[in-house]
């Protein structure tokens, strides 16, 4: 039979996984060697490296173990990718580490795989790291798994030893969601059942590993239905052209089809699909293209173009699995950066539901996650993201968390869906509070009263004019017939927050309570005006994360410390100078100005009435009021 031309052969991405020293690198080296995929110069380098390490025969593991530390220790540390092809199919294989401290690298290597080859040492049986990688494979939604029972030469090619491993792994895998699992006994060192069937294991009739790789259904993870196009870059070479560049995450689109842009919700039609090689009739998953639209609408990096009538979930609360990949443990309610497609937003892990015991698959209560822990969490983002569940669409269902202080990737996540809003249990009443949806939804209240709910958060130094502006604004909105509520720091300090001091921890708790109260009035459909010093950016971000992005307006009320000290409407600066008010913001405690507020008003230059009018304009522009 004639070989299939290279361009017509499909591509299978697969990853190897398993415990350390199970022979993953040797197996890949054997595949490349026996399929004649190594060049002569590679073979010469391989022979020389093997001799330097004291091996009489070719050490095939060195094909992928390229780091000096890997060759010296004979382990895999980083993920190594290799390409090879046979007459039937092309392959990209990721050789992932087996050591537990490098589990995060395994997640990276397997995240795009269509198939996972999990190796088990026939002489050792199923080890904890083998089970851990099987769990990760299941969470990543990899549809096909081959369990390669390696080193059969060490057990004399004994069928009973192979059958025992099959029984143990099958019993464990029954608790996972992987449906297609096959077992292949082999010896990567000697080449038994890797590329060709082995006469030493005549009792096995399932075909070689390569036969399975060549015949398994490839591309099963690609979502061919839901069109998702995260915008990466806006191309505007001149006034007559405006295009949106990116890679099609899933699905396809043709010129003339109606689309919707998220988060704005604006509608248009695709005008053209352009590539480096010229125009195309269709944009398909995996292709880098430039889309143009028939209508001139505002689209920016981080937006997503989807087909009209087939939109993803838009939300700020996520139910997700995460694999923690950093030496510093996860901190609940600490701000992280969440990178999802081309969109990066601030995010907080607001709750840990449980940590998964990979040996037993039992769910363990947890207050944090450590390095390589896998857990189910709830995440709240500062702005909406546009997602599908990971099992439906890996491109829009996966994300990573980044530590903003170190810029290190600390977690990889798989979205299960939108999280339900529910209060966290307290030690005093672990199960007393049960979440119920709002009896009258906010949308119904907004329709009845003729305007949308919103939170206007005014922050600035004491004496900058926050409350004065808030009062002008409330009167103006009230005159328009709007439902309003004004929350002032002094009001809450005399009631709800009277038990709190002015320490950094108590300041954070003060703003947390204020944010929760504001959210309650917001769900009533009110325009909530919040006048709080709120000196720390992290606390303000936490409030922002409670609300839809389009309905939260942060206003920085700017005035110098000297101006505020001259005004001193409550005499606080004078008292702070005498030492009567410890930790006073602007004098003996810091204030962190917002880096990107929706509006800044300088009360040294504008009046409270003018500042109020500027906020009204912002509310109109956002569609909060007419």
- Which are the catalytic amino acids? 534
| 613, containing H or E segment | helix 608-621
Walk across the sheet containing 552-558 and list its strands.
484-488, 527-531, 454-459, 552-558, 599-602
Distance (Å, whole) CA 322 – CA 369 = 9
Q: Which residues of 130-153 are buried (b: 16+ CB within 10 A; e: fewer)?
A: bbbbbbbbbbbbbbbbbbbbbbbb
Dihedral sign (CA 150, 155, 159, 163): negative
Question: Considering just the CA atoms, what is the radius of gyration of the chain in Å?
Answer: 30
Beta carbons within 10 angstroms of residue 199's beta carbon: 8
Distance (Å, whole) CA 41 – CA 317 = 53
Residue ranges of the alpha helices (H) in 450-595?
Answer: 466-479, 489-493, 504-523, 537-544, 561-567, 572-577
Distance (Å, whole) CA 409 – CA 339 = 10
The three-state secondary structure class of 90 is strand
The three-state secondary structure class of 337 is strand
Distance (Å, whole) CA 263 – CA 312 = 11
Distance (Å, whole) CA 400 – CA 408 = 10
The distance in angstroms from the start CA to the end CA of the chain is 72
Structural contact between residues 22 and 123, judged by C-beta atoms closer than 8 angstroms: no
- Phi, psi (degrees; rounded to nearest 5) at 394: -65, -30
On the CB side of 398, how many CA atoms lie within 13 Å of its CA? 16
The three-state secondary structure class of 513 is helix
Closest alpha carbon to 466 in 288, 575, 594, 596: 594
Distance (Å, whole) CA 325 – CA 474 = 47
Q: Which DSSP string do the residues of 257-281 spell out, in sequence order?
A: -EEEEETTTEEEEEEEEEETTEEES
Distance (Å, whole) CA 533 – CA 557 = 10
Q: Is 297 exposed, middle or buried (0-12, 13-18, 19+ CB in 10 A)?
A: middle
Distance (Å, whole) CA 283 – CA 132 = 38
How many residues would you count in the chain? 626
Distance (Å, whole) CA 414 – CA 340 = 11
Distance (Å, whole) CA 512 – CA 532 = 12
Distance (Å, whole) CA 372 – CA 375 = 10
């Amino acid at each position: 039979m004639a070989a299939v031309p290279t361009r017509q052969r499909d591509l299978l991405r697969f990853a190897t996984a398993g415990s350390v020293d199970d022979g993953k690198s040797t197996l890949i080296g054997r595949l490349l060697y026996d399929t004649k995929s190594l060049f002569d110069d590679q073979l010469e380098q391989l022979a020389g490296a093997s001799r330097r390490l004291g091996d009489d025969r070719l050490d095939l593991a060195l094909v992928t173990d390229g780091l000096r530390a890997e060759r010296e220790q004979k382990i895999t540390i980083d993920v190594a990718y290799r390409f090879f092809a046979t007459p039937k199919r092309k392959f990209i294989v990721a050789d992932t580490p087996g050591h537990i401290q490098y589990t995060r690298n395994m997640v990276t290597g397997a995240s795009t795989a269509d198939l996972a080859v999990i190796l088990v040492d026939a002489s050792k049986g199923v080890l904890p790291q083998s089970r851990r990688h099987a769990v990760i494979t299941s969470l990543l939604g990899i549809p096909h798994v081959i369990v390669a029972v390696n080193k059969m030469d060490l057990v004399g090619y004994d069928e009973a030893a192979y059958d025992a491993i099959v029984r143990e792994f099958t019993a464990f895998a029954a608790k996972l969601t992987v449906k297609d699992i096959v077992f292949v006994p082999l010896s990567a060192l000697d080449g038994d059942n890797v590329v060709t069937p082995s006469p030493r294991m005549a009792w096995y009739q399932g075909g070689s590993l390569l036969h399975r790789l060549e015949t398994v259904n490839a591309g099963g993870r690609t979502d061919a239905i839901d069109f998702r196009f995260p915008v990466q870059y806006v191309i505007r070479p001149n006034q007559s052209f405006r295009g949106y560049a990116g890679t099609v995450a899933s699905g396809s689109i043709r010129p003339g089809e109606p689309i919707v842009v998220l988060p704005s919700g604006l509608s248009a039609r695709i005008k053209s699909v352009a590539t480096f090689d010229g125009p195309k009739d269709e944009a398909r998953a995996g292709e880098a293209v430039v889309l143009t639209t028939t209508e001139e609408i505002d689209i920016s990096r981080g937006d997503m173009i989807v087909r009209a009538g087939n939109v993803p979930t838009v939300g700020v609360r996520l139910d997700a699995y995460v694999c923690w990949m950093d030496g510093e443990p996860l901190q609940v309610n600490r701000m992280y950066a969440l990178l999802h497609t081309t969109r990066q937003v601030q995010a907080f892990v607001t709750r840990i539901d449980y940590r998964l015991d990979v040996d037993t698959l039992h769910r363990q209560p947890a207050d944090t996650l450590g390095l390589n822990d896998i857990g189910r969490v709830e995440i709240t983002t500062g702005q909406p993201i546009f997602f599908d569940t990971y099992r439906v669409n890996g491109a829009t269902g996966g994300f990573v968390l980044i530590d903003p202080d170190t810029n290190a990737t600390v977690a990889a996540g798989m979205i299960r869906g939108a999280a339900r809003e529910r209060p966290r249990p307290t030690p005093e009443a672990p199960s007393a509070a049960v979440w119920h949806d709002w009896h009258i939804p906010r949308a119904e209240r907004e329709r009845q009263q003729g305007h949308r709910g919103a939170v206007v958060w005014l922050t600035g130094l004491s004496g900058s004019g926050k409350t004065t502006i808030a009062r002008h604004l409330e009167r103006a909105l009230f005159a328009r017939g709007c439902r309003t509520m004004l929350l002032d720091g002094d009001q809450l300090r005399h009631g709800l927050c009277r038990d709190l001091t002015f320490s950094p921890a108590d300041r954070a708790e003060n703003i947390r309570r204020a944010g929760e109260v504001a959210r309650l009035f917001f769900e009533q459909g009110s325009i909530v005006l919040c006048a709080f010093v709120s000196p720390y950016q992290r606390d303000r971000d936490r409030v922002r994360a409670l609300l839809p992005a389009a309905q939260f307006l942060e206003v920085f009320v700017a005035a110098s410390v000297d101006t505020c000290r001259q005004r001193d409407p409550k005499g606080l600066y004078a008292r702070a100078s005498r030492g009567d008010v410890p930790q006073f913001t602007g004098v003996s405690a810091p204030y962190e100005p917002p880096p990107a507020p929706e509006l800044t008003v300088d009360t040294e230059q504008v009046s409270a009435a003018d500042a109020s009018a500027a906020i009204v304009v912002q509310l109109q522009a956002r569609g909060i009021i007419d």
